[in-house]
Amino acid sequence: MPEKVLEKEERVVGQGARRLDAEAKVRGEARYADDLSFPGMLHVRAIRSEKPHARILCLDLSRVEAHPQVVCIVTPEDIPGENIVPIIYRDMPLLAEDVVRYVGEPVALIGATSREAAEEAAALAKIAYEELPAVFDPLEAAGPEAPQVAVPEAAEEGNVFNHMVIRKGDVSEGFAQADVVVEGEYRVGYQEHAYLEPQGVIAVPEEGGIAIYGTMQCPYYVQNAVANVLGLPLSKVRVVQVATGGGFGGKEDVPSHLAAMAAVVAWKSGRPAKLVYDRAEDMATTSKRHPGLIRYRTGARRDGTLVAVEVEFYYNAGAYQTLSSAVLWRGLVHAAGPYRIPHVKVDAYSVATNTVPCGAFRGFGSPQVIFAHESQMDELAGRLGMDPLELRRRNALRVGDETATGQLLTESVGLPQAIERAAELSRWEELKAEVEEFNRREPFKRRGIGVSTVMYGVGMGAKAPSLDKAGAYVKLEADGSVTVAVGNTEMGQGAITVLAQIAAEALGASLFDVQLAPVDTSRVPDSGPTVASRTTTVAGMAVLDAARKLRARVESAARELFSCDEVELSGSRVWPARAPEKAVPLAEVARWMWAHNWDMGATGWAEGAPVDWDPKTGQGKAYFVYSYACHIAEVEVDLLTGEACVRRFWAVHDSGKIVNPETARGQVAGGIAQGIGYALMEELRSEGGRLVAPSFTAYHIPTTMDVPEGYVIDFVEAPYSGGPFGAKGLGEVPLMASHAAVANAISAATRGRLREYPAIPERVLALVEGK
């Protein structure tokens, strides 16, 4: 059965979690940034703008300075390096100097002896502004009469940060061949990351440099930002990741800003400085999923063959670029979906507005367009009188097909198998009959079934190929245990378990003898950012490379120890070939190597396969490999209240070889829940550039009462030759597919078409009533 988990896998995963707890206790370390404390530590608070767009006329901090517990105040003039937090572009200041561009933008920093004192003092600041015209809607901001928001050096034209295109074939010709054409406009709003602990960092001065401790995804991003702001070489900035309870992209770029703020206070005061947001500040001032307006036009022949798609979409980037150009590019590449379409035209825009800057979020620009293209597929199926699963089956990409960017798929395309397996597990035809029978019987409730199929480019892709690399170091200790060092972070996704498994399998060691080193930029190699579902694939290959090199050395030592020509190694035991009765623990070989001064460590390196891209046409090999999924959701709608709930859910994924089925199922289950929230309930309203009620009281996320009692989760494995043991990425794909399946199920149940997220009861009732 797909839900069944092997006992051995359960023991491996459980032991890994217990090992992490035990390690924290043995070292006597706090597990989260908010638990850490250093002697003489200051608490940092940002003084923030209350205006969406204004010129700063006067910053009066005299009353702040007079507060008895304020030790340090930092304004732009106090920044020893550059007043820029570099991400992709260099447009976002650490502290606004002349103009503020969004509500909540930092203007100055306070270091006080307690958190409460810092908050009190921040409220004493007086700022005089000259208000400037503000714009909050991306379509309006892209117009020629809009006030200038974007820093000109970071924008292509006006407030348009980036305009990207795909041009494949001739869409005019394609639509001329179409028997049926559907069009639609779709809107999505913000989505909040809702990670467990809010953003938090501590900066500690060290001799000639500084150390940063924080919850984060990308330590080397943080190192670069802090070095830039302090004017230090990278070698003088040490970054240590502490326990991170989820990131979902929200801890990719934002920790660089927090770390730089804490660092300048620590640098000026000469004392440790701690900056930990409360939930309200975190939600009000940090990045979100980009709101978007998406327009689609799709054409097909009578037999369901897709012939053309034309897409135009606008993402609200907020006041600064942050990661928007990369988010937009991924949305662009995925806009046509996982289908064979000969004629494709896509125009994608990221636009600056006077709102909080948006950034990375699980799926990274693709969920917005997936909502639209999967809605279009269901609308086409309805117009053609065709089963929506069958329409996807006929058009799904296969080996030998070309993507919308003209990339030839030569291996590892498991989407057709995923569709068949999802149909089998859900008993598709019986399920449809059950739903029809329920809807005939029930006057006040109605059920619907929704399908989605998606593809996901693994890794950084042709937008940032220089980041798709990883280093690793694997060391055999003298007692036979193994230490693995990589620069990728654990944040709940199971990376420490999977990377340990890869090392253990390649080295012939027991999993329980393998330990991942804590992530500290002075101790681990740069393995690239922990983003884009790349850790297993790219960092895993680096670990595999190092472990194989080390194994060859261990086998050579064992041959000398046994005075034989061939040895075998498995489960941390070594023996002469065909003589298992002579087996000795790996520890014995390790002690021999140590005593004879052998090198007991090995470095590994990996990089993504070559990619290429023509920005003028949007054609090229966008990613080195893709993962795929097919999701099916059954939803029940209350026709009187508009409430919708997901009753049952089936998810089938192709992520190549699944290294650890249990943690993989956890990833899928979590992504489904996050997608249900995106589709049904997560709404964060903004008025005049200010987020309304940024708290979990008003912003609802799914609880155990909002998800099905059980998911049916399975995998079809289409191995990728460039991944460790054939593995590909998984982490982001479940969210990408789940929300669209839920949205299509709601449309089927209401017999209307959901065109805006989230499907709160008011919107669902409007669909029921045909509005």
- Residue 636, classed as helix, strand or coil, is strand
Calculated CA dihedral for residues 186, 447, 631, 429, nearest 10 degrees? -130
Mind listing the pLDDT tens digit for each residue in 87-119? 999 999 999 999 999 999 999 999 999 999 999
Work out the average pLDDT over 314-342. 98
Q: How far is CA 138 from CA 107, 335, 355, 700, in A?
A: 25, 19, 10, 25
The reported pLDDT for the residue numbered 33 is: 80
**Backbone phi and psi for residue 64, each to the nearest 5 degrees, phi listed first:** -65, -45
User: The whole model's pTM is what?
Assistant: 0.95
Q: How many helices (H) and strands (E) does the chain have?
A: 19, 28
Cα dihedral 750, 755, 759, 762 sign? negative
User: Cα(5)–Cα(646) distance, rounded to whole angstroms?
Assistant: 24
Paired strand residues for 654: 628
The reported pLDDT for the residue numbered 31 is: 59
Report yes or no: 461 and 330 within 8 Å, Cβ to Cβ: yes
Q: Which residues contact 575 (CB under 8 A, 6 or more apart)?
A: 562, 567, 568, 581, 582, 583, 584
Q: What is the DSSP letter of 622?
A: -
Q: Which residues contact 554 (CB under 8 A, 6 or more apart)?
A: 476, 507, 508, 569, 574, 586, 589, 590, 593
pLDDT exceeding 70 applies to what percent of the chain? 96
Report yes or no: 368 and 294 within 8 Å, Cβ to Cβ: yes
**Which DSSP string do the residues of 233-252 spell out, in sequence order?**
-GGGEEEEE------TTTTT
Q: How far is CA 329 from CA 162, 315, 336, in A?
A: 9, 11, 13
Report yes or no: 374 and 455 within 8 Å, Cβ to Cβ: no
Six-digit token string for 156: 């292509």
The reported pLDDT for the residue numbered 32 is: 74
Q: Is the pLDDT of residue 483 over 70?
A: yes
Q: Is the pLDDT of residue 21 over 80?
A: no
Mind listing the pLDDT tens digit for each residue in 557-603? 999 999 999 999 999 999 999 999 999 999 999 999 999 999 999 99
The reported pLDDT for the residue numbered 37 is: 83
Report yes or no: 330 and 314 within 8 Å, Cβ to Cβ: no
Q: What is the DSSP letter of 96?
A: -
Residues in the chain: 771
Report yes or no: 715 and 651 within 8 Å, Cβ to Cβ: no
Per the rule left: phi > 0, alpha: psi between -120 and 50, beta: everything else, 552 is: alpha
The reported pLDDT for the residue numbered 27 is: 35
Q: Is the pLDDT of residue 181 over 80?
A: yes
User: Cα(693)–Cα(93) distance, rounded to whole angstroms?
Assistant: 26
Calculated CA dihedral for residues 205, 209, 212, 216, nearest 10 degrees? 160
Catalytic residue positions?
330, 732
The reported pLDDT for the residue numbered 205 is: 97
Q: Is the pLDDT of residue 237 over 70?
A: yes
Q: Which residues contact 209 (CB under 8 A, 6 or more apart)?
A: 232, 235, 236, 237, 238
Average pLDDT, the chain: 95
Mind listing the pLDDT tens digit for each residue in 440-482? 999 999 999 999 999 999 999 999 999 999 999 999 999 999 9
* First-to-final CA distance of the chain: 43
Q: Which residues contact 705 (CB under 8 A, 6 or more apart)?
A: none
Q: Is the pLDDT of residue 731 over 90?
A: yes
The runs of H, that is alpha helices, within 573-690 are 586-595, 661-680
Mind listing the pLDDT tens digit for each residue in 409-452? 999 999 999 999 999 999 999 999 999 999 999 999 999 999 99
Cis peptide before 580 (omega within 30 of 0): no
- Buried b / exposed e across 402-423, counting CB within 10 Å, b at 16+? ebbbbbebeebbbbbbbbbbbb
Six-digit token string for 693: 């009620």
pLDDT exceeding 90 applies to what percent of the chain? 94
User: Cα(765)–Cα(652) distance, rounded to whole angstroms?
Assistant: 31
Please identify which residue in the block is written with the tokens 């839900």: 3
Mind listing the pLDDT tens digit for each residue in 52-87? 999 999 999 999 999 999 999 999 999 999 999 999
The reported pLDDT for the residue numbered 605 is: 97
The reported pLDDT for the residue numbered 9 is: 31
Report yes or no: 682 and 701 within 8 Å, Cβ to Cβ: yes
User: Cα(488)–Cα(554) distance, rounded to whole angstroms?
Assistant: 26
Q: In what order do the strands lie in the sheet with 42-48?
A: 70-74, 106-112, 42-48, 273-276, 200-206, 209-214, 237-241
User: Cα(36)–Cα(294) distance, rounded to whole angstroms?
Assistant: 44
